[in-house]
Amino acid sequence: MMVKAREVVADRPVARTGNGNGNGATVGGEWRRERGEPNPPIASVKLLALLVCASSVMLFTAFTGAYIVLRHGFDQWPPVGLPKPPRELWINTAVIVASSLTLGWAQWAMHRNAGANARRGTLATLLLGLLFVALQVVIWNRFTAAGVRASTGSYGSIFYALTFIHALHVLVGVVALGYATVCLWRHEFWHNAVAQLDACALYWHFVGAMWLYLYVILCVI
């Protein structure tokens, strides 16, 4: 009976709060490796992230396809009398790239059971995501002041549609990262913490790639 009791405790995922230097570790995926048992091939939360990314690809493809068709319908783009997209969009590009780097660092730390660095990385990514949305609002206001509104023909409507939809995707990522950040800072290392963070990172890197694609479509080509 004593042996069985110890086996149950050994199999139970237990949260570690740290090792004295601020680092925490999750036993959830770790205890499987210690017993030589394989982890599940894919976590449900990661599968959900993949499905969301796949549906978003179709959405962005439809809108950018409409943008390209509209653009080729004009002899000059932007149409005569309307300004080019704000130059400040490159700042948002730098912010979204930086946020992918900080989340990649958080992933790297989490896979090595460095809980303190994982917390810092997710918090930095969360703040950069909020900065991205705030800068997007500033850009919309400046573009509106320059005379381009959503009602300013196809040029204005497609620009605001593309950037607004992308901003919504960023906000979804911010909410997911906010939840992960709170759990990490409260030392709540759930049994599939690595899968949770990997799912957030998968979605966030996708959103970043979509912004680079939109930036090229709107400002470079």
Element (H, E) at 215: helix 193-215
Give the model's confidence band at 159: pLDDT under 50 very low, under 70 low, under 90 confident, else very high. Answer: very high
Show the tokens assigned to 206.
């996708």
39 falls within a domain: no
**8 Å CB contact between 126 and 172:** no
* pLDDT at site 28: 40
**% residues pLDDT > 90 (the chain):** 39
Structural domain includes residue 36: no
CATH value at residue 83: 1.20.120.80
pLDDT at 151: 84
12 in a structural domain: no
65 located within any domain: yes
Specify the residue for token string 């653009």: 71
Residue 18 forms part of a structural domain: no
Residue 61 belongs to a domain:
yes
Phi, psi values for residue 178, rounded to 5°: -60, -45
Mean pLDDT over residues 15-39, rounded? 42
Partners of 194 in the β-ladder: none
201 confidence band (pLDDT: 50, 70, 90): very high
- The candidate with the shortest Cα–Cα distance to 21, out of 116, 108, 110, is 116
Q: Please give the Cα distance from 14 to 12 (Å, whole number).
A: 6
pTM for the complete prediction?
Answer: 0.77
Where does the pLDDT of residue 91 fall: very low under 50, low under 70, confident under 90, or very high at 90 and above?
Answer: very high
**Rounded distance, CA 97 to CA 52, Å?**
21
Q: How many domains does the chain have?
A: 1
Q: Is 31 within a domain?
A: no
- Which residues span the domain enclosing 141? 44-220
Q: Are 198 and 46 in contact (CB under 8 A)?
A: yes
DSSP, res 84: P
Tokens of 20: 């004295």
The string of pLDDT tens digits covering residues 111-149 is 888 888 988 999 999 999 999 999 999 999 999 998 899
Q: Which are the contacts of 42, defined by CB distance < 8 A and separation ≥ 6?
A: none
| Predicted local distance difference test score (pLDDT) of residue 88 | 87
Indicate whether 131 belongs to any domain.
yes
Higher pLDDT: 79 or 20? It is 79
Cis geometry, peptide bond prior to residue 79 (ω within 30 degrees of 0): no
Q: Whole-angstrom Cα distance, residue 39 to residue 50?
A: 19
Cα dihedral across residues 114, 116, 121, 126: positive or negative = positive
Instruction: Kindly state the tokens that stand for 80.
Output: 């005569």
